[in-house]
Structure 1
Amino acid sequence: SVPLQILSISLWMEFSLAPCSAPEPRNYVLLVSGTFNPPHRGHVRLGLCAKEQLERLGHSVQAVCWLPVHDNYMLNKQTLAGKCKEGGSELFYPMAQRCEQLRLLLRDQGEGLEAFCHVLDYELRFGAQLLEESPNYWAQRLPEGYLRTVPTKSLLRHFAQHSPLMKSARLGAVFGVDNLIGMASWNAPGELLESTDLVLVAREAATVELRSSPQPLLSELRYFQIQERVDVKYEGKELFGQAVGCFENASASKSAASRLVLLPALGPDEGLSSSCLRKALAECLATCRQHGCASEELLTCLLYHGLRSAAALKREAESADERGERVKRLKV
């Protein structure tokens, strides 16, 4: 018998893509998952731009869904960073707040989006079915104990099978292309990709170097639609992304029906960061505390009630005019 390691290497060496005509268009429901702590414009643009680009390729998109991760994941991260201890950062946004913030951000993108945009507390609502132990990740990082979390592949599989939005549609999981680094280590990717296509958005970085063998993942992908050049490599071997076009995976498994679509980068919004936003908010909060303005009521007044748009300032100035409060310039 052939040793498993040698067999794996042999299969990997056979990976190759051949140019082909565009595959049949698909009807998608797009899913954008993330911590969103807090969300920002880049998060909503990720889903909206993916929809626009897929439709340009001839696909249809009947819904775009944003699913914040379960609070347990956030609390594990806080514990790992020591932020649950005295003096740690309190900038933690529970599921309800992250969902509300995403809805507000979507509202700012224009009218009519509610017809196909959905912000769902899915991981919380179905937590009893989705929460799992994490022996290979959280158990190693928090050996003293951790909270169960929802693995990405379990979320995608459950959503594809149970969400009422999925009628006659295929799930498209939207990620930045750099997330391929983590996807390469997924267990049993074939189970996930039975009902899910990977919709990847390019980054400004020209190269993505995978750290573990992507052979199990890539063998379940039949077609690659590349719209942006991003050099994806493993151990120095160029995998895909060097050329734009449609390609068929000659080494795909017989049952493989999934696709990988690589879309153009977001542009200026790519640089937006929840980490930068948290840092700015923490610095603002520290300054407010230094000045004795740390109560919730005072912060609300300072950060919200005091803000005025140019139009609002103009209206208030006009009201003052109507009350006769303006001192007119004297003629010399």
Structure 2
Amino acid sequence: MKIKIFPFLFLCFSVSLVSCNSAKPLSKTYTSSERETPRNIIFLIGDGMGLSQISIANFYKEEPSNFERFPIVGLIKTSSSTHLITDSAAAATAFASGIKTFHQAVGLDNDSIPVPTIIDHLEARDFSTGLVVTKIIVHATPAAFFAHVPYRYDYEQIAPWLVDSDIDFIAGGGLNYFRKASEGKDLLSEFVKKGYGIDTTSLKSTVDKRKQLILLADEDLPWKTEGRGDFLPRATDLAISSLSTNKNGFFLMVEGSLIDTAAHDGELQYMIDEQLDFDATVGRVLDYAMTDKETLVIVTADHETGSFALSMDGYDYNKIKPTLYHGQHSATMVPVFAYGPGSELFSGVYDNTEIYHKIMQLLSN
């Protein structure tokens, strides 16, 4: 089921360095003896996270936002090939494969031809790979990194692609789609045959050297404040611990999935809690990258959801009224934050497809 990796033409870009003023920036302090290109990539996606969502931490968190620690900031345009306002599937395909595609397509180009993903490329180079999400693992964003289907909601067709993917660390929800997928197959037994360690009950503090499949809910994981706890930062820590044993390097995609869901549902408090949980996860990743010095951290969003604003309450300039103006996506550009070797490449304004091409350019050096 895997697709063949075709020769890739690396693109060169002229970019400018943009400084971000913050209280505690992570200044670039690499010496000439240290790596100027990354060994590892940790790519974090806040689903539905626009600038106002990112700003939540400034007013609803006692400590400074972890986003203030980034020295490099850019902006990306998010339209798909067919729609001014993208959906998550087309946006994630842009990140995973570097191409614009049609609404609801996962891992396909405009002609419905499968395109190789960054995970395909890096597995061929013996990198370790991982996905950590808070929704079902077959949802649009994670699916774009391993599957190739025309309709993002065809979860039973997406699930077998994950078995075939050989991704080393998988954590999220969606157990129902692996107990019985297309053609009535029990896909969990297929993972067992491939040597995966499987956990469907709890997130352990350590894992063994096997590849890992951790699915802790039949569907999406619970909301942060309704039973999920600190799953996202802990699962991210666990993934890094597992994947970083590979001397060739690793690629990890982490999604704060339910920021978007809360905005769609008009659940303001849930959205605030999910955003703060994602902020905390970003902080854990930055702490690792600061110590490791060989890891590039990139944080962005597939799109903004809800046209969310930290509005003024009436005419009181000292009172904020968080407001979701509707329950759908918006066309606004979303920020990109970067830290680590090669992070300067991510400043500026560019299409979402360039995230992929910039990563591949760095890894070709």
TM-score by length of 2: 0.29
TM-score by length of 1: 0.32
Q: Which of 1 and 2 has greater Rg?
A: 1
